[in-house]
Amino acid sequence: MDTLTVVGCQFGDEGKGKVIDYLSKDFDVSVRFNGGENAGHTVVVGDKTIKYHLVPAGFLGSKTVVIANGVVINIKKLVEEIEFLKTFKSSINLKISEMAHVVTELHFKRDSYLEQVRGAGHIGTTLKGIGPAYESKFGRYGIRLVDFRDRKKLLGNLSLISKIYQIPFDEKYVDSLLEDYQMIERYISDTRSYLENEIENGKRVLFETAQGTFIDVESGTYPFVTSSYTTSGGVTVGTGLSPRYFSKFLGVAKAYTTRVGEGMFPTEMFGQEADVLRNFGNEFGTTTGRPRRVGHLDIPMLRRAVKLNSLDYIALTKVDVLGKMDSIKVAVSYESNGSEIKEFDPSRVPDKVNYETFKSWRDDASNLQKYIDFIQSELKVPIVLIGTGEKRDAIKVNGRLAL
């Protein structure tokens, strides 16, 4: 089957949007299967920048884009995004799962409240209501798009959330939600059946995750994680499709490591060196604008990502940025209680990180090849794409994707 699932290998912000945009021209359908507007995929088109938040980043290349059931949707934000994207592509063939859950103003307020209650132990969420939307989903009092067919039912669902959260709302808000819903109603359908039929009929389908492996709610640095399944396993529950439909998996890794929010970060850099790399890479959140924490490439982290996601390929991004640094360090192992540890454990902070140093390729391109060869030898997975700049065509093909 001609399907490819793209995941992030680190804490998110690996440059998945650019890679997905590049690949999408070779796929009939692009599908987003998790997260909400807290995730941002950036693609630079000429002198304009597209910041995707809910629509799949394969929008420009694929004939059809799908927002699957695993995504939680702020309808007003989606309406705004669709209108913006029409300036790039007038014909929008978008399908939205009727089973997708909706983020409401009650979820926004709940998100802010929970961060305040956590105090010094706050998660560092984007305050977009994403966590509470998943909270209500798994608490079985969430609101799905299919519920918008009946105003009375929608009002009842909002009232229940209001009681559970102890947050009041104005009944007029129901009509405001319904007005926004009417703007996207024509796109809503049974996306699971649609995707099944497309794949069975030989169409090529690209699946994309939001965020990265190590903020997955099951496999990440809990509790400093997102609220959805960001690994390759999430594509089955996020689309409703059987695992047999997923054939190949590509992981996107930045040539260094970044993280937004709280949580462990073994290779984090501080001080002037961190500021230099952050500014070189413009490491500020697509959605929030928050400065990202930056650090060295972490091979133990990537080893675990390869296993968790059953990766067949890797795309390595931002090598142009890292190449501007005078000296380049790579974490090759950790130490805990005097023992060497070769693989990242998201529940255990190592005592020490062991590094190897590489020469910059700022003036000698052969040093970049040595860096790439080293990563491939350590991970035993081919690096097939290399991101060499922010423009959408600034990608070097380093190998073949055999689907």
Q: What is the pLDDT of residue 36?
A: 94
**pLDDT tens sequence across 304-355:** 999 999 999 999 999 999 999 998 999 999 999 999 999 999 999 999 999 9
Q: What is the pLDDT of residue 286?
A: 62
Greatest C-alpha distance within the chain:
67
In this prediction, residues 57-67 reach a mean pLDDT of 96
**pLDDT tens sequence across 153-177:** 999 999 999 999 999 999 999 999 9
> What Cα–Cα distance (Å) separates residue 213 from each residue in 34, 83, 255, 304?
12, 31, 16, 9
Q: What is the pLDDT of residue 288?
A: 67
Residue 198 has pLDDT above 90, yes or no: yes
Lowest mean pLDDT among 21-30, 95-104, 114-123: 114-123
CATH class of the domain at 3-97+189-250: alpha beta
In this prediction, residues 229-242 reach a mean pLDDT of 97
In this prediction, residues 123-146 reach a mean pLDDT of 92
Lowest mean pLDDT among 45-59, 253-267, 298-312, 324-338: 45-59
The structure's pTM equals 0.94
- Which residues lie closer than 8 Å to 85 by C-beta, 6 or more apart? 50, 55, 59, 92
Instruction: Calculate the CA 212 to chain-centre distance.
Output: 5
Q: What is the mean pLDDT of the chain?
A: 94
Alpha helix segments (H runs only) across 86-189: 105-118, 130-138, 151-165, 172-184
Residue 229 has pLDDT above 90, yes or no: yes
Any idea which fold 254-397 has?
A: Adenylosuccinate Synthetase; Chain A, domain 3 (3.90.170)
Catalytic-residue membership of 41: yes
Distance in angstroms (rounded) separating the CA atoms of residues 97 and 333: 43
Q: Which two tokens stand for residue 78?
A: 């989606």
**For residue 17, how many C-alpha atoms fall within 13 Å in the half-sphere facing its CB?**
26
Catalytic-residue membership of 13: yes
Q: What is the pLDDT of residue 243?
A: 96
380: alpha, beta or left, given left = phi > 0 and alpha = psi -120 to 50?
left
CB 29 within 8 A of CB 195: yes
Cβ-in-10-Å burial (0-12, 13-18, 19+) of 40 comes to: buried
Residue 142 has pLDDT above 90, yes or no: yes
Name the percent of the chain lying above pLDDT 90: 84
Q: What is the pLDDT of residue 47?
A: 79
Q: What is the pLDDT of residue 341?
A: 97
Residue 298 has pLDDT above 90, yes or no: yes
Residue 287 has pLDDT above 70, yes or no: no
> What Cα–Cα distance (Å) separates residue 328 from each residue in 257, 356, 380?
12, 8, 21
Distance in angstroms (rounded) separating the CA atoms of residues 387 and 323: 12
Q: What is the pLDDT of residue 1?
A: 58
| In the chain, domain spans | 3-97+189-250, 102-184, 254-397
Residue 403 has pLDDT above 70, yes or no: yes
Q: What is the pLDDT of residue 354?
A: 98
Distance in angstroms (rounded) separating the CA atoms of residues 339 and 67: 45
Q: Higher confidence at residue 72 or residue 116?
A: 72
Closest by CA position to 292, among listed 331, 324, 318? 318
| Active-site residue, selected from the candidate residues 21, 41, 107, 147 | 41
Q: What is the pLDDT of residue 305?
A: 98
Select from 3.30.930.10, 1.10.300.10, 3.40.50.300, 3.30.230.10 the CATH code of 102-184: 1.10.300.10
**pLDDT tens sequence across 12-49:** 999 999 999 999 999 999 999 999 998 777 888 877 88
